[in-house]
Homo-oligomer: A and B are copies of this chain.
């Protein structure tokens, strides 16, 4: 038992059949046993949502060479919860990995991202957890150049662990050659023009969510957005405790109405 190889739990928000997930499995299978439990279809933008009111199902899709792949009809967070409870059967994974996401999860996208939902869920269970994302939304994006960095970061996290309550959000640009890794912070940014109004053939209005992202501090070199736009791999340490400690001091003046 003590010689068991590390157990790595993988999920994503693009679905169990996505290329990014398959590429991730191939990159890291050398490090241990792998359980994939991922949505049965795409669940982008699901954040930390879980299914409070709808029943869930899971289905084993394949099992070979220390890689098990399960599909679940729930959210990315559901996938992690149900995998930990039902598939890992009491064994706590050594690591949770989200991705590889088709599309970046930098800046405020951290909050919307289902891939980061996976990783925040792992982190809330005190498991070292890392999200990998590539700035390319296409279903057949080329993830191959990421391999040495994905392996390096996975190996370091398996070896060193991560502090409790901190997970990593790793974003890769699309570039011919990665200049290296940079530790960085979330950029401040805003989404605008997010709603497109359309007319249904039956005569009523409906709306699509879309949007344009604006980096509100484009010249800040310590941000994830700057880092990926300059050819580096951006590693952003992300907290579960999202209290603003400085503001607590100010709010003490509110305690006596």
Residues of A within 8 A of B (CB): 42, 44-53, 55-58, 74-75, 77-78, 81-82, 85-86, 108, 110-112, 117, 120, 124-126, 148-149, 152-153, 156, 163, 165-166, 180-186, 188, 190-191, 193-195, 197-198, 204-209, 222, 235-245, 247-249, 251-252, 254-257
Contact = CB atoms under 8 A, between A and B. Distances in A.
A256 B186 contact: no
Given A49-B75, A55-B198, A184-B248, 15 more contacts: A47-B47, A47-B77, A47-B117, A49-B49, A56-B207, A57-B204, A166-B247, A185-B243, A186-B241, A222-B248, A237-B244, A237-B247, A237-B251, A238-B243, A239-B242
Contacts of A241: 185-186, 188
B242 A183 contact: no
11 contacts: A42-B53, A47-B48, A48-B112, A78-B209, A86-B195, A86-B197, A126-B190, A180-B255, A181-B257, A188-B241, A239-B242
Nearest to A255: B181
A80 to B, nearest CB: 10
Contacts of A186: 241-243
Given A55-B198, A156-B254, A238-B242, A124 B204 contact: no
A124 B190 contact: yes
A195 to B, nearest CB: 4
Interface SS of A by simple majority = mixed
B235 A251 contact: yes
Residue of A46, A240, A242 contacting most chain B CB atoms (<10 Å): A242
Nearest to A81: B194
A81 B46 contact: no
A190 to B, nearest CB: 7
Contacts of A191: 124
A98 to B, nearest CB: 14
B255 A82 contact: no
A152 to B, nearest CB: 5
B248 A243 contact: no
Contact of A52 (B58, B78, B195, B209): B209
B56 A51 contact: no
Given A207-B55, A238-B242, A244-B166, A195 B47 contact: no
A51 to B, nearest CB: 5
Nearest to A222: B248
